């Protein structure tokens, strides 16, 4: 006779809503990683060197943003839980700055660059604020290992599906909305994606529940954690693999548009 799970199982609406949270984030994030470099250089008129420096600064900022958001989650105590409120608090700002990133004010070269820095860096932080809780909220939904695995699979399925949707439909939507004006087309396309993203994130907030409180652990000073990390060879190898994967993925995504435009003339 099969044993009943010792922890509460999630129901289908909650599973789907949890998975759609990653789809919501990726709907915006994939446009950024695939088309923003092209948008900045060929449509907004920024130099490739200036954009490369912006992206480098943004990646350095990413290193600090995740720990900051993690601390924010740790110190959050609300009637909605610890991680779940972040979907409510940051969904709208995330959608708004996704659209603002594709606004092109007719300013001087320095003014345009300042606008790009402000919108892109803030959007990067907001992405972390809505994406990190997807992981941190998972152990609070259920303590059943099969359920945790299933939720992870559902999340990956929806996240990967959206990557395909963005790759297939973004440029046709830009052409449809823009009617020859790519700036206008990108702006309206991102407004559409951001609106859908907002609704999906809020849907996640509405349908998931934090049922289990995570055990409190003693916080170690940063220097102690750093010392342990640099001596942990498996962690260093895994970190290197993950870094290389995302680096190559970013290069592939951001150069594909240029390849088709300037090499294949399509």
Counted residue by residue, the chain has a size of 266
Q: Residues 191-224: pLDDT tens digits?
A: 999 999 999 999 999 999 999 876 666 666 767 7
Chain segment 138-167, per-residue pLDDT in tens: 999 998 999 999 999 999 999 999 999 998
Cα separation of the two ends of the chain: 61
Q: What is the mean pLDDT of residues 3-27?
A: 83
Higher-pLDDT residue of 266 and 247 is: 247
User: Reduced to 3 states, what is the DSSP secondary structure of residue 84?
Assistant: helix
pTM, 2 dp? 0.87
Mean pLDDT of 56-78: 90
CB atoms near residue 10 (< 10 Å): 23
Confidence (pLDDT) at 72: 94
Q: Are 207 and 14 in contact (CB under 8 A)?
A: yes
C-alpha to C-alpha distance for 88 and 21, rounded to whole angstroms: 12
What does the pLDDT read at residue 111? Answer: 96
2: pLDDT confidence band, cut at 50, 70 and 90? very low
User: Tens digit of pLDDT for each residue in 83-120?
Assistant: 999 999 999 999 999 999 999 999 999 999 999 999 99
Q: What percent of the chain has pLDDT over 90?
A: 67
pLDDT recorded at residue 243: 80
Report residue 249's pLDDT band, with 50, 70 and 90 as the boundaries.
Answer: confident
What local confidence, expressed as pLDDT, does residue 3 receive?
Answer: 46
- Residues 6+ away with beta carbon under 8 Å from 224: none
pLDDT, tens digit, 9 for 90 and up, residues 74-84: 999 999 999 99
Q: What is the DSSP letter of 216?
A: P
Average pLDDT value over all residues in the chain: 89
Which residue in the block uniquely carries the two structure tokens 């999630």? 10
The pLDDT tens digits of the residues spanning 174-192 come to 999 999 999 999 999 999 9
Q: What is the pLDDT of residue 226?
A: 76
Q: What is the pLDDT of residue 240?
A: 86
The whole-number pLDDT of residue 5 equals 45
Dihedral pair phi/psi, residue 83, rounded to 5°: -90, -40
Cα 176 from Cα 196, distance rounded (Å) = 18
pLDDT at position 8 over 70: no
Identify the CA nearest to 14 among candidates 213, 149, 204.
204
pLDDT more than 70, % of the chain: 93
CATH superfamily entry for domain 12-214: MFS general substrate transporter like domains (1.20.1250.20)
């Amino acid at each position: 006779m099969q044993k009943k799970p010792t922890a509460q199982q999630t129901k289908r609406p909650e599973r789907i809503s949890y998975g759609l949270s990653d789809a919501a984030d990726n709907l915006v994030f994939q446009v950024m990683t695939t088309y923003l470099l092209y948008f900045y250089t060929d449509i907004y008129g920024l130099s490739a060197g200036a954009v490369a420096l912006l992206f480098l600064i943004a990646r350095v900022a990413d290193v600090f943003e995740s720990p900051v958001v993690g601390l924010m989650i740790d110190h959050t105590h609300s009637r909605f839980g610890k991680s779940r409120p972040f979907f409510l608090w940051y969904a709208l700002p995330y959608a708004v700055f996704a659209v603002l990133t594709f606004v092109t004010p007719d300013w001087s070269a320095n003014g345009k660059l300042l606008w790009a820095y402000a919108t892109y860096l803030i959007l990067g932080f907001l992405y972390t604020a809505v994406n990190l809780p997807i992981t941190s909220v998972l152990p609070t939904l259920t303590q059943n290992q099969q359920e945790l695995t299933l939720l992870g699979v559902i999340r990956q399925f929806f996240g990967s599906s959206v990557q395909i949707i963005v790759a297939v439909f973004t440029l046709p939507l830009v052409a449809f909305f823009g009617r020859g004006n790519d700036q206008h087309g990108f702006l309206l396309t991102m407004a559409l994606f951001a609106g859908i993203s907002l609704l999906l994130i809020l849907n996640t907030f509405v349908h998931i529940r934090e049922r289990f409180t995570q055990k409190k652990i003693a916080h170690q000073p940063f220097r102690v954690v750093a010392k342990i990390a640099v001596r942990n060879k498996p962690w260093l190898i895994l970190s290197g693999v993950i870094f290389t994967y995302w680096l190559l993925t970013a290069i592939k995504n951001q150069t594909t548009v240029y390849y088709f435009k300037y090499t294949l003339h399509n």
